[in-house]
A and B are shown apart, each in its own frame.
Chain A
Protein backbone atom coordinates (compact mmCIF):
# COMPACT_ATOMS: atom_id res chain seq x y z
CA UNK A 1 0.00 0.00 0.00
CA UNK A 2 1.32 3.46 -0.84
CA UNK A 3 2.56 5.61 2.05
CA UNK A 4 0.10 8.28 3.16
CA UNK A 5 0.74 11.58 1.43
CA UNK A 6 0.13 14.77 3.45
CA UNK A 7 -3.07 15.99 1.79
CA UNK A 8 -4.34 13.81 -1.02
CA UNK A 9 -6.90 15.58 -3.14
CA UNK A 10 -10.37 14.25 -3.72
CA UNK A 11 -9.42 13.33 -7.27
CA UNK A 12 -6.57 11.16 -6.07
CA UNK A 13 -8.81 9.41 -3.59
CA UNK A 14 -11.31 8.77 -6.35
CA UNK A 15 -8.70 7.40 -8.72
CA UNK A 16 -7.28 5.18 -6.03
CA UNK A 17 -10.63 3.65 -5.17
CA UNK A 18 -11.86 3.27 -8.72
CA UNK A 19 -8.70 2.07 -10.36
CA UNK A 20 -5.32 1.78 -8.66
CA UNK A 21 -6.39 -0.02 -5.51
CA UNK A 22 -9.75 -1.19 -6.74
CA UNK A 23 -11.06 -3.52 -4.06
CA UNK A 24 -11.90 -6.30 -6.47
CA UNK A 25 -9.17 -6.73 -9.02
CA UNK A 26 -6.53 -4.94 -6.96
CA UNK A 27 -7.02 -6.64 -3.64
CA UNK A 28 -9.65 -9.31 -4.37
CA UNK A 29 -11.42 -8.63 -1.11
CA UNK A 30 -14.98 -8.59 -0.01
CA UNK A 31 -16.45 -10.46 -2.91
CA UNK A 32 -18.13 -13.01 -0.67
CA UNK A 33 -21.28 -11.28 0.29
CA UNK A 34 -22.01 -9.69 -3.03
CA UNK A 35 -21.06 -12.16 -5.71
CA UNK A 36 -24.14 -14.22 -4.95
CA UNK A 37 -26.55 -11.50 -6.00
CA UNK A 38 -24.90 -10.75 -9.35
CA UNK A 39 -27.19 -13.05 -11.31
CA UNK A 40 -29.68 -10.19 -11.66
CA UNK A 41 -28.66 -6.61 -12.37
CA UNK A 42 -31.40 -5.14 -10.24
CA UNK A 43 -30.36 -7.10 -7.14
CA UNK A 44 -26.79 -6.04 -7.68
CA UNK A 45 -27.70 -2.37 -7.93
CA UNK A 46 -29.62 -2.47 -4.65
CA UNK A 47 -26.83 -4.38 -2.94
CA UNK A 48 -24.22 -1.93 -4.21
CA UNK A 49 -26.21 1.08 -3.07
CA UNK A 50 -26.39 -0.52 0.35
CA UNK A 51 -22.67 -1.09 0.32
CA UNK A 52 -21.80 2.46 -0.78
CA UNK A 53 -24.05 3.84 1.95
CA UNK A 54 -22.59 1.60 4.63
CA UNK A 55 -18.97 1.93 3.70
CA UNK A 56 -18.82 5.70 3.26
CA UNK A 57 -20.80 6.50 6.40
CA UNK A 58 -19.17 3.94 8.63
CA UNK A 59 -15.71 4.99 7.50
CA UNK A 60 -16.59 8.59 8.33
CA UNK A 61 -18.04 7.58 11.70
CA UNK A 62 -14.99 5.55 12.59
CA UNK A 63 -12.93 8.56 11.67
CA UNK A 64 -14.97 10.91 13.89
CA UNK A 65 -14.67 8.56 16.84
CA UNK A 66 -11.07 7.64 16.22
CA UNK A 67 -9.64 9.73 19.05
CA UNK A 68 -12.28 8.56 21.51
CA UNK A 69 -12.00 4.83 20.84
CA UNK A 70 -9.70 2.85 23.13
CA UNK A 71 -7.26 0.92 20.97
CA UNK A 72 -7.90 -2.55 22.30
CA UNK A 73 -11.63 -2.57 21.61
CA UNK A 74 -11.30 -0.72 18.32
CA UNK A 75 -12.33 -3.68 16.15
CA UNK A 76 -15.45 -4.27 18.21
CA UNK A 77 -16.44 -0.61 17.98
CA UNK A 78 -15.89 -0.63 14.22
CA UNK A 79 -18.00 -3.74 13.84
CA UNK A 80 -20.82 -2.18 15.84
CA UNK A 81 -20.71 1.01 13.78
CA UNK A 82 -20.91 -0.99 10.57
CA UNK A 83 -23.69 -3.18 11.94
CA UNK A 84 -25.61 -0.03 12.89
CA UNK A 85 -25.61 1.25 9.30
CA UNK A 86 -26.42 -2.18 7.88
CA UNK A 87 -29.46 -2.38 10.13
CA UNK A 88 -30.61 0.97 8.74
CA UNK A 89 -30.32 -0.38 5.20
CA UNK A 90 -32.14 -3.56 6.18
CA UNK A 91 -34.98 -1.78 7.95
CA UNK A 92 -35.43 0.74 5.12
CA UNK A 93 -35.50 -2.04 2.56
CA UNK A 94 -37.94 -4.03 4.66
CA UNK A 95 -40.25 -1.02 4.88
CA UNK A 96 -40.18 0.16 1.26
CA UNK A 97 -39.21 -2.86 -0.82
CA UNK A 98 -39.90 -6.09 1.09
CA UNK A 99 -39.77 -8.20 -2.08
CA UNK A 100 -36.23 -7.08 -2.77
CA UNK A 101 -35.27 -7.72 0.82
CA UNK A 102 -36.38 -11.33 0.61
CA UNK A 103 -34.62 -11.68 -2.77
CA UNK A 104 -31.35 -10.63 -1.24
CA UNK A 105 -31.86 -13.01 1.68
CA UNK A 106 -29.00 -12.95 4.12
CA UNK A 107 -26.67 -10.98 1.91
CA UNK A 108 -27.67 -7.54 3.17
CA UNK A 109 -26.72 -8.61 6.69
CA UNK A 110 -23.47 -9.98 5.38
CA UNK A 111 -22.27 -6.51 4.46
CA UNK A 112 -21.17 -6.44 8.10
CA UNK A 113 -18.61 -9.14 7.53
CA UNK A 114 -17.59 -7.83 4.13
CA UNK A 115 -13.83 -7.50 4.37
CA UNK A 116 -13.83 -4.32 2.33
CA UNK A 117 -15.90 -2.38 4.82
CA UNK A 118 -13.84 -3.44 7.80
CA UNK A 119 -10.63 -3.13 5.84
CA UNK A 120 -11.21 0.46 4.75
CA UNK A 121 -12.42 1.55 8.18
CA UNK A 122 -9.31 0.05 9.68
CA UNK A 123 -6.83 1.16 7.04
CA UNK A 124 -8.18 4.59 6.20
CA UNK A 125 -10.97 5.78 8.48
CA UNK A 126 -8.87 5.11 11.50
CA UNK A 127 -6.09 7.50 10.58
CA UNK A 128 -7.71 10.20 8.45
CA UNK A 129 -10.17 13.06 9.02
CA UNK A 130 -13.88 12.29 8.46
CA UNK A 131 -14.25 14.13 5.15
CA UNK A 132 -11.49 12.19 3.48
CA UNK A 133 -12.56 8.94 5.09
CA UNK A 134 -16.05 9.48 3.68
CA UNK A 135 -14.66 10.08 0.19
CA UNK A 136 -12.36 7.11 0.40
CA UNK A 137 -15.18 4.85 1.51
CA UNK A 138 -17.46 6.20 -1.16
CA UNK A 139 -15.06 5.65 -4.03
CA UNK A 140 -13.81 2.30 -2.80
CA UNK A 141 -17.40 1.09 -2.66
CA UNK A 142 -18.08 2.63 -6.06
CA UNK A 143 -15.06 0.91 -7.60
CA UNK A 144 -16.35 -2.30 -6.14
CA UNK A 145 -19.86 -1.70 -7.43
CA UNK A 146 -18.72 -0.98 -10.99
CA UNK A 147 -17.00 -4.34 -11.24
CA UNK A 148 -19.94 -6.20 -9.79
CA UNK A 149 -22.27 -4.44 -12.21
CA UNK A 150 -20.10 -5.56 -15.10
CA UNK A 151 -20.26 -9.12 -13.82
CA UNK A 152 -24.01 -8.90 -13.29
CA UNK A 153 -24.66 -7.40 -16.72
CA UNK A 154 -22.88 -10.21 -18.52
CA UNK A 155 -24.41 -12.88 -16.35
CA UNK A 156 -27.96 -11.70 -16.79
CA UNK A 157 -27.72 -11.03 -20.51
CA UNK A 158 -25.96 -14.28 -21.36
CA UNK A 159 -27.93 -16.41 -18.94
CA UNK A 160 -31.45 -15.00 -19.13
CA UNK A 161 -31.42 -12.68 -22.14
CA UNK A 162 -32.58 -9.73 -20.06
CA UNK A 163 -31.03 -6.62 -18.58
CA UNK A 164 -32.53 -5.52 -15.26
CA UNK A 165 -35.63 -7.51 -16.19
CA UNK A 166 -36.04 -5.98 -19.67
CA UNK A 167 -35.63 -8.21 -22.69
CA UNK A 168 -32.49 -7.53 -24.71
CA UNK A 169 -32.83 -7.82 -28.50
CA UNK A 170 -31.25 -10.95 -29.96
CA UNK A 171 -30.28 -12.42 -26.58
CA UNK A 172 -33.93 -12.81 -25.58
CA UNK A 173 -34.92 -14.35 -28.91
CA UNK A 174 -34.87 -18.11 -29.56
CA UNK A 175 -31.87 -17.60 -31.85
CA UNK A 176 -29.72 -17.26 -28.75
CA UNK A 177 -29.25 -20.44 -26.78
CA UNK A 178 -29.32 -19.21 -23.21
CA UNK A 179 -26.24 -20.01 -21.17
CA UNK A 180 -28.02 -21.18 -18.04
CA UNK A 181 -24.69 -21.80 -16.40
CA UNK A 182 -24.12 -18.06 -16.22
CA UNK A 183 -26.91 -17.59 -13.69
CA UNK A 184 -25.78 -20.53 -11.55
CA UNK A 185 -22.92 -20.19 -9.05
CA UNK A 186 -20.12 -21.48 -11.33
CA UNK A 187 -20.97 -18.74 -13.83
CA UNK A 188 -20.27 -16.13 -11.18
CA UNK A 189 -16.84 -17.56 -10.50
CA UNK A 190 -15.94 -17.73 -14.18
CA UNK A 191 -17.23 -14.25 -14.94
CA UNK A 192 -15.41 -12.67 -12.03
CA UNK A 193 -12.22 -14.49 -12.97
CA UNK A 194 -12.45 -13.12 -16.50
CA UNK A 195 -13.07 -9.59 -15.25
CA UNK A 196 -10.12 -9.81 -12.87
CA UNK A 197 -8.00 -11.17 -15.69
CA UNK A 198 -8.91 -8.40 -18.14
CA UNK A 199 -8.44 -5.54 -15.69
CA UNK A 200 -5.21 -6.88 -14.26
CA UNK A 201 -3.77 -7.31 -17.72
CA UNK A 202 -4.64 -3.72 -18.59
CA UNK A 203 -3.08 -2.53 -15.37
CA UNK A 204 0.08 -4.51 -15.97
CA UNK A 205 0.39 -3.23 -19.52
CA UNK A 206 0.14 0.33 -18.27
CA UNK A 207 2.79 -0.22 -15.65
CA UNK A 208 5.27 -1.82 -17.99
CA UNK A 209 6.47 1.25 -19.99
CA UNK A 210 7.11 3.05 -16.70
CA UNK A 211 9.73 0.53 -15.69
Chain B
Protein backbone atom coordinates (compact mmCIF):
# COMPACT_ATOMS: atom_id res chain seq x y z
CA UNK B 1 0.00 0.00 0.00
CA UNK B 2 1.17 3.51 -0.75
CA UNK B 3 1.72 5.97 2.06
CA UNK B 4 -1.28 8.07 1.09
CA UNK B 5 -3.59 5.08 1.08
CA UNK B 6 -2.27 4.02 4.48
CA UNK B 7 -2.82 7.43 5.96
CA UNK B 8 -6.38 7.60 4.70
CA UNK B 9 -7.03 4.10 6.01
CA UNK B 10 -5.58 5.17 9.35
CA UNK B 11 -8.05 8.06 9.42
CA UNK B 12 -10.98 5.77 8.71
CA UNK B 13 -9.86 3.34 11.39
CA UNK B 14 -9.42 6.24 13.78
CA UNK B 15 -12.95 7.59 13.27
CA UNK B 16 -14.39 4.09 13.46
CA UNK B 17 -12.55 3.45 16.73
CA UNK B 18 -13.97 6.62 18.22
CA UNK B 19 -17.59 6.06 17.22
CA UNK B 20 -18.94 2.86 15.73
CA UNK B 21 -16.33 0.51 17.18
CA UNK B 22 -15.87 2.37 20.41
CA UNK B 23 -13.62 0.22 22.53
CA UNK B 24 -15.78 0.74 25.59
CA UNK B 25 -19.31 0.72 24.24
CA UNK B 26 -18.94 -1.86 21.49
CA UNK B 27 -16.23 -4.09 22.97
CA UNK B 28 -16.80 -3.61 26.71
CA UNK B 29 -13.15 -2.90 27.40
CA UNK B 30 -12.20 -0.80 30.39
CA UNK B 31 -15.58 -1.14 32.04
CA UNK B 32 -14.31 -1.43 35.62
CA UNK B 33 -12.71 2.02 35.82
CA UNK B 34 -15.58 3.31 33.67
CA UNK B 35 -18.05 2.36 36.38
CA UNK B 36 -15.76 3.10 39.29
CA UNK B 37 -14.32 6.47 38.30
CA UNK B 38 -17.19 8.07 36.39
CA UNK B 39 -18.77 9.55 39.51
CA UNK B 40 -17.24 12.99 39.00
CA UNK B 41 -16.13 14.85 35.90
CA UNK B 42 -12.71 15.87 37.16
CA UNK B 43 -11.54 12.37 37.91
CA UNK B 44 -13.03 11.10 34.66
CA UNK B 45 -11.14 13.78 32.76
CA UNK B 46 -7.80 12.87 34.35
CA UNK B 47 -8.25 9.18 33.79
CA UNK B 48 -9.48 9.73 30.25
CA UNK B 49 -6.42 11.77 29.30
CA UNK B 50 -4.11 9.20 30.88
CA UNK B 51 -5.82 6.45 28.88
CA UNK B 52 -5.45 8.34 25.58
CA UNK B 53 -1.75 8.83 26.16
CA UNK B 54 -0.88 5.40 27.51
CA UNK B 55 -3.07 3.55 25.02
CA UNK B 56 -1.59 5.27 21.97
CA UNK B 57 1.99 4.77 23.12
CA UNK B 58 1.67 1.17 24.29
CA UNK B 59 -0.16 0.04 21.16
CA UNK B 60 2.74 1.36 19.10
CA UNK B 61 5.37 -0.14 21.40
CA UNK B 62 3.55 -3.45 21.32
CA UNK B 63 3.33 -3.30 17.53
CA UNK B 64 7.10 -2.90 17.33
CA UNK B 65 7.71 -5.63 19.88
CA UNK B 66 5.32 -8.02 18.16
CA UNK B 67 6.52 -7.52 14.61
CA UNK B 68 10.24 -7.17 15.27
CA UNK B 69 10.76 -9.52 18.20
CA UNK B 70 8.00 -12.10 18.53
CA UNK B 71 7.24 -12.83 14.87
CA UNK B 72 10.87 -13.36 13.80
CA UNK B 73 11.40 -15.62 16.79
CA UNK B 74 8.13 -17.50 16.22
CA UNK B 75 6.99 -16.77 19.77
CA UNK B 76 3.56 -15.29 18.99
CA UNK B 77 1.88 -17.18 21.82
CA UNK B 78 4.16 -15.32 24.20
CA UNK B 79 2.49 -12.01 23.35
CA UNK B 80 0.24 -11.86 26.43
CA UNK B 81 3.20 -11.78 28.77
CA UNK B 82 5.27 -9.44 26.62
CA UNK B 83 2.40 -6.98 26.17
CA UNK B 84 1.55 -6.83 29.83
CA UNK B 85 5.19 -6.34 30.77
CA UNK B 86 5.58 -3.54 28.24
CA UNK B 87 2.40 -1.87 29.47
CA UNK B 88 3.39 -2.15 33.13
CA UNK B 89 6.92 -0.93 32.45
CA UNK B 90 5.69 1.96 30.33
CA UNK B 91 3.20 3.07 32.96
CA UNK B 92 5.87 2.88 35.64
CA UNK B 93 8.24 4.88 33.47
CA UNK B 94 5.68 7.56 32.69
CA UNK B 95 4.83 7.82 36.35
CA UNK B 96 8.48 8.41 37.25
CA UNK B 97 8.98 10.98 34.50
CA UNK B 98 5.82 12.86 35.33
CA UNK B 99 6.60 12.87 39.02
CA UNK B 100 10.07 14.23 38.36
CA UNK B 101 9.29 16.92 35.81
CA UNK B 102 5.71 17.98 36.28
CA UNK B 103 4.38 17.93 39.82
CA UNK B 104 1.20 19.58 38.58
CA UNK B 105 0.48 16.89 36.04
CA UNK B 106 1.45 14.27 38.60
CA UNK B 107 -1.13 15.65 40.97
CA UNK B 108 -3.74 15.43 38.23
CA UNK B 109 -2.91 12.03 36.82
CA UNK B 110 -0.78 10.42 39.53
CA UNK B 111 -3.48 8.33 41.17
CA UNK B 112 -4.78 7.06 37.85
CA UNK B 113 -1.57 5.83 36.33
CA UNK B 114 -1.21 2.62 38.38
CA UNK B 115 -4.87 1.83 37.67
CA UNK B 116 -4.14 1.89 33.98
CA UNK B 117 -1.92 -1.19 34.03
CA UNK B 118 -4.95 -3.35 34.72
CA UNK B 119 -7.26 -1.41 32.42
CA UNK B 120 -8.46 -3.94 29.88
CA UNK B 121 -8.83 -1.26 27.21
CA UNK B 122 -5.05 -0.87 27.00
CA UNK B 123 -4.36 -4.57 26.69
CA UNK B 124 -7.42 -5.10 24.50
CA UNK B 125 -6.33 -2.50 21.96
CA UNK B 126 -2.96 -4.23 21.62
CA UNK B 127 -4.60 -7.62 21.13
CA UNK B 128 -7.03 -6.25 18.53
CA UNK B 129 -4.11 -4.65 16.75
CA UNK B 130 -2.52 -8.10 16.37
CA UNK B 131 -5.74 -9.86 15.37
CA UNK B 132 -6.69 -7.28 12.75
CA UNK B 133 -3.17 -7.19 11.38
CA UNK B 134 -2.85 -3.40 11.23
CA UNK B 135 0.20 -1.78 9.68
CA UNK B 136 2.24 0.65 11.77
CA UNK B 137 0.59 3.79 10.39
CA UNK B 138 -2.90 2.38 10.74
CA UNK B 139 -2.00 1.41 14.30
CA UNK B 140 -1.26 5.06 15.10
CA UNK B 141 -4.79 5.97 14.00
CA UNK B 142 -6.27 3.02 15.83
CA UNK B 143 -4.50 3.75 19.12
CA UNK B 144 -5.41 7.41 19.06
CA UNK B 145 -9.01 6.72 18.07
CA UNK B 146 -9.50 4.08 20.74
CA UNK B 147 -8.14 6.36 23.44
CA UNK B 148 -10.26 9.31 22.34
CA UNK B 149 -13.33 7.09 22.12
CA UNK B 150 -12.81 5.87 25.68
CA UNK B 151 -12.26 9.42 26.86
CA UNK B 152 -15.47 10.62 25.19
CA UNK B 153 -17.50 7.80 26.68
CA UNK B 154 -16.30 8.28 30.25
CA UNK B 155 -16.71 12.07 30.07
CA UNK B 156 -20.26 11.74 28.80
CA UNK B 157 -21.02 9.21 31.51
CA UNK B 158 -19.53 11.39 34.25
CA UNK B 159 -21.63 14.32 33.09
CA UNK B 160 -24.79 12.27 33.14
CA UNK B 161 -24.02 10.74 36.52
CA UNK B 162 -23.52 14.14 38.11
CA UNK B 163 -27.05 14.99 37.08
CA UNK B 164 -28.27 11.66 38.38
CA UNK B 165 -26.90 12.26 41.86
CA UNK B 166 -30.04 14.08 42.88
CA UNK B 167 -32.50 11.77 41.14
CA UNK B 168 -34.47 9.06 42.83
CA UNK B 169 -33.36 5.66 41.60
CA UNK B 170 -34.63 2.27 42.81
CA UNK B 171 -32.29 1.03 45.52
CA UNK B 172 -31.15 -2.07 43.70
CA UNK B 173 -30.26 -0.04 40.64
CA UNK B 174 -28.21 2.60 42.41
CA UNK B 175 -24.57 2.82 41.44
CA UNK B 176 -23.48 0.20 38.92
CA UNK B 177 -26.98 -0.79 37.81
CA UNK B 178 -28.02 2.59 36.52
CA UNK B 179 -24.55 3.16 35.08
CA UNK B 180 -24.92 0.03 32.99
CA UNK B 181 -28.31 1.12 31.69
CA UNK B 182 -26.97 4.51 30.69
CA UNK B 183 -24.01 2.79 29.04
CA UNK B 184 -26.50 0.71 27.07
CA UNK B 185 -28.33 3.82 25.88
CA UNK B 186 -25.02 5.45 24.97
CA UNK B 187 -23.98 2.34 23.08
CA UNK B 188 -27.18 2.58 21.03
CA UNK B 189 -26.42 6.19 20.20
CA UNK B 190 -22.87 5.40 19.17
CA UNK B 191 -24.04 2.55 16.95
CA UNK B 192 -26.12 5.16 15.19
CA UNK B 193 -22.90 6.48 13.69
CA UNK B 194 -22.43 3.34 11.63
CA UNK B 195 -24.22 4.98 8.71
CA UNK B 196 -21.36 7.47 8.46
CA UNK B 197 -18.83 4.74 7.76
CA UNK B 198 -21.02 2.45 5.71
CA UNK B 199 -19.42 0.77 2.73
CA UNK B 200 -15.91 1.29 3.99
Interface residues of A (CB under 8 A from B): 28-33, 35-36, 75-76, 79-80, 83-84, 86-87, 90-91, 94, 105-106, 109-110, 112-115, 118, 181, 184-190, 192-193, 196-201, 204
Contact = CB atoms under 8 A, between A and B. Distances in A.
A211 to B, nearest CB: 14
9 contacts: A32-B28, A33-B29, A106-B131, A109-B79, A110-B127, A184-B187, A185-B25, A189-B184, A190-B180
B171 A113 contact: no
B26 A200 contact: no
A12 B117 CA distance: 32
A32 B30 contact: yes
Contact of B185 (A115, A118, A184, A186): A186
B165 interface: no
Contacts of B79: 109
B56 to A, nearest CB: 18
A90 B80 contact: yes
Give the size category of B's interface with A.
35 or more
A105 B80 CA distance: 13
A113 B119 contact: yes
Interface string B65-97: 000000000000111110011001000000000
B194 to A, nearest CB: 11
Contacts of A115: 32, 118
B181 A109 contact: no
Contact of B123 (A28, A90, A113): A113
B77 A190 contact: no
Nearest to A116: B32
Nearest to B128: A106
Interface of B: 25-32, 35, 77-81, 84-85, 88, 117-124, 127-128, 130-131, 170-173, 175-178, 180-181, 183-185, 187-188, 191
Nearest to B26: A185
Most chain A CB neighbours (cut-off 10 Å) among B26, B79, B124, B131: B124
B123 A112 contact: yes
B114 to A, nearest CB: 9
B77 A91 contact: yes
Nearest to A187: B184
A186 B123 contact: no
A7 B48 CA distance: 43
Nearest to B178: A193
Given A86-B80, A184-B191, A189 B181 contact: yes
Given A110-B127, A204-B171, 16 more contacts: A28-B176, A32-B28, A32-B29, A32-B120, A32-B124, A33-B120, A33-B124, A90-B80, A112-B84, A186-B188, A188-B184, A189-B183, A189-B184, A190-B181, A193-B178, A193-B181
B78 A31 contact: no
Most chain A CB neighbours (cut-off 10 Å) among B80, B121, B171: B80
B45 to A, nearest CB: 21
A83 to B, nearest CB: 5
A109 B31 contact: no
B78 A87 contact: yes
A92 B51 CA distance: 32
Contacts of A188: 28, 184
Contacts of A90: 77, 80
